A and B are shown apart, each in its own frame.
Chain A
Amino acid sequence: MIQAQPETVLSVEELCVDYVTDRGPVRAVDRVSLEVARGEFLGIVGESGCGKSTLLFAIARLLSPPAEITSGAVRFNGRDMVAMRDEELRHLRWREYSVVMQSAMNALNPVMTIGAQLKDVIHAHDHMGAREIGERSREVLRLVGIDPVHLRSYPHQLSGGMRQRAMIAMALVFTPELVIMDEPTSALDVVAQRSLMVQIKQLQRKIGFAAIFVTHDMSLVSHFSDRLAVMYAGQVVEIGDTRRLFAEPKHPYTAGLMGSFPSITGPIEPLVGIGGAPPDLAHPPAGCRFHPRCPRVMPRCSVDNPDFYNQEKDLVRCFLYDGRAAGAERVSQLDH
């Protein structure tokens, strides 16, 4: 569906994830397809409950019951991870792809020093001598701007920003090709958040890993991601170049999100946000999942589920861009 790029690290194809509940399965991720090129920074944005974290866990094969992948493929360097056994995955984890969790305070062990936790990781995935482990640990801590004396510190002795940095240091121990990040900055203050983002970007340039960065705050990634995928109610509704997406959002949901942020510059304009609330995924609306909240809803939106439509290099899941619908192009042109 998406044109294959020469250097694709990860490709997700028509991935579906269901949560099995007493009242039947709830589809949290619905036919998601996306690709990440080598060294690329892909942002995934969406509101809570849109399935962005579930998608990320599915990609990393970290889902646990009641969630399960029901169809689709996740190809990492060409190999389908969905079909892999745990033993095979163990060889890929940390070494070829790693995950940075949302809350460092919960992800780090409070009764182990940072050094001991780094040692744990290295032990589990490689055979290194104690000296080598020490050297590698100091190296990765320096990489993220933490003084190696903190190898002997416990997580509670570090500030929130430093804990997140320590998490990133652990993820980089084996210089993986892909780092998957689930809102690593959401617990931080703006200044610390900004500095962590800058640092992630610098590390990425230096080491060259590809990054998937999940966040609910699209303005946060606006200056850092190469491409952006916008999720709504379990589906990717728009995916494309970050700057293009901000300059001219195509999907009405993306446009609505853009209109939800007050700015600190320019005139203060009354904003409206998006009326209503995201749907309950146990009972998604028929047709397009956004149609009950959509300001540009058309009759067919409540009946048919839109597919992806090509807009130059980008993809939009909205009937406004269905080439067959006469005049749709023109309508969207008029809006800008």
Chain B
Amino acid sequence: MITDLPTPPGGSELLRTRALTKHFKMGGVFSRSHLHAVDGIDLVIGENEIVAVVGESGSGKSTLARLIAMVYKPTSGEILHRGSPISALRSRRKILDYRGRVPMVFQDPYGSLSPVYRVSHGLMRSLKLHRTDLSDRGRRQEAEYLLESVGLTPPADFLAKYPYELSGGQRQRIGFAQALACRPELILADEPVSMLDVSVRIGVLNLMSSLRRRERISFLYITHDIASARYVADRIVVMYAGQIAETGPVEDVLAHPKHPYTQLLLSAVPDPRAPVSVPASAEVQEPPRVIDPQAGCRFRDRCPFAIDECSRVTPRLRLLRPDHEAACHVAASDMEGGEQVSGALLN
């Protein structure tokens, strides 16, 4: 069975997923096939921690965030918030409270703000809903404080603006301010910078780092950009086809990638600082859509190291370095010698 992950370093556990799974039904009324978007994810997010989830499109990383945000109901598995399952939250009040503690910031700052309302509208609504302790005046002051804390000054000016008057970076900061309005513990940031211009991206990443430092907020940072994950995150989770391929402290995973998929991703990152080298072959395959999968590693068709076992047994995450796990038969046997491979077979 699934072993429980250890408590994250540096803080106590804030949120944990246990074998979290989401399957989507495919096709027409009589179709029985299912898309396995998220399959058996075990994840721990600690207090005051930034965890990055990286993967290609279709790897299930956004579905994971939406499951945690209670947008989708899991097919199976559990999400534990401070030890208690969120599926047990029944009253509207408790669900609202959870959503306030774990808000989401969206990818598209152009689509996530209503164009017909001023900035103050969205912020005040959040405050009215989640901060019932405040008076009208208190809310106004709080809204100004929030805008200041995301770097939009003078705040009074920004409150009166419409979204069309703001740049992409400023809009995304409004998104963070709205998330902050409910006094969050964990912000689910789904590709928050991918639609921004390169010169302003780094500012939003820096904002995440400073919110963690100042307000002790944790982040689940969903991205396809490994370099930005390295820049802000403590731990990294590499997802492939709905499963975790590799996870661990970000520096350790990038310096010693164990899973061939992580290695492939790293080799594909354009890095101007790297020496000039154009590889001879163009790798052409793309990640699979996982519809009613059989046993076996989902990466095996693209994997240069695939062995016979990879098509028969689904690899489980195994500890290969301190705090650093990968789900790969080959990496595991490299690590521990031939005997252990047969040990993995028994699992």
Contact = CB atoms under 8 A, between A and B. Distances in A.
The 8 lowest CB-CB distance pairs between A and B, nearest first, are A273-B202, A262-B231, A222-B272, A277-B167, A194-B268, A189-B56, A274-B199, A47-B197
A13 to B, nearest CB: 29
Interface string B222-257: 001111101100000000000000000000001000
A217 interface: yes
Contacts of A264: 226-227, 230, 254, 266, 269, 271
A67 interface: no
Given A145-B284, A262-B231, A273-B203, A191 B265 contact: yes
**Which residue, of A201, A222, A264, A277, has the highest number of chain B Cβ atoms within 10 A?**
A264
A263 B227 contact: yes
B71 interface: no
Interface residues of A, dominant DSSP:
loop
Given A48-B197, A190-B224, A271-B202, A266 B276 contact: no
Given A190-B224, A191-B268, A271-B206, 8 more contacts: A48-B197, A191-B283, A260-B199, A264-B271, A268-B231, A274-B200, A275-B203, A277-B197
Contacts of A331: none
Nearest to A159: B286
Contacts of A271: 202, 206, 231
A49 to B, nearest CB: 8
Contacts of A197: 270
Given A217-B270, A258-B272, A161 B197 contact: no
B274 A199 contact: no
A222 to B, nearest CB: 4
Interface residues of B, number: 44
Given A189-B57, A189-B224, A201-B278, A268 B230 contact: yes
Interface of A: 47-48, 145, 159-161, 189-199, 201-202, 216-220, 222-224, 243, 246, 256-266, 268, 270-275, 277-278
A265 B283 contact: no
A265 B56 contact: no
Contact of A190 (B169, B198, B230, B268): B268
Interface string B175-219: 000000000000000000000011111110110000000000000
B81 to A, nearest CB: 30
**Which residue, of B227, B270, B273, has the highest number of chain A Cβ atoms within 10 A?**
B270
Nearest to A278: B197
B270 A219 contact: yes
B29 interface: no
Contacts of A159: 286
Given A161-B284, A264-B254, A277-B169, A218 B199 contact: no
Contacts of A216: 197-198
B5 interface: no
B170 interface: yes
Contacts of B201: 260, 273
Nearest to B167: A277
Contacts of A270: 206
Interface string B256-293: 00000000111111111110111101111011000000
Given A191-B283, A271-B231, A263 B273 contact: yes
Contacts of A266: 273
Given A218-B272, A264-B254, A274-B200, A191 B227 contact: no
Contacts of B266: 264
B202 A198 contact: no
Given A218-B272, A223-B270, A272-B202, A191 B56 contact: yes
25 contacts: A47-B197, A47-B198, A145-B282, A145-B284, A189-B56, A189-B224, A189-B286, A190-B269, A191-B268, A193-B270, A194-B268, A194-B270, A195-B282, A198-B278, A198-B282, A202-B282, A219-B270, A223-B270, A261-B198, A261-B227, A265-B271, A271-B202, A272-B206, A274-B199, A274-B200
A273 B56 contact: no
Contacts of A223: 270, 272, 274, 276-278
**Which residue, of B198, B274, B286, has the highest number of chain A Cβ atoms within 10 A?**
B198
A274 B278 CA distance: 30
A246 B268 contact: no
Nearest to B228: A262
Interface string B75-87: 0000000000000
Contact of A262 (B230, B265, B278): B230
Nearest to A274: B199
A47 B199 contact: yes
Given A47-B197, A260-B198, A273-B203, A219 B284 contact: no
A265 B346 CA distance: 38
Contacts of B271: 219, 222, 263-265
A53 to B, nearest CB: 14
A262 B276 contact: no
A228 to B, nearest CB: 10
B229 to A, nearest CB: 9
A273 B274 CA distance: 20
A219 B272 contact: yes
A153 to B, nearest CB: 15
Nearest to A271: B202
Given A192-B286, A194-B270, A273-B199, A243 B276 contact: yes
Contacts of B170: 277
A257 B198 contact: yes
Contacts of A272: 202, 206
Contacts of A48: 168, 197
Nearest to A165: B284
Contacts of B227: 261-264
Contacts of B198: 47, 216-218, 257, 260-261, 273
Contacts of A220: 270
A146 to B, nearest CB: 9
Contacts of B225: 190
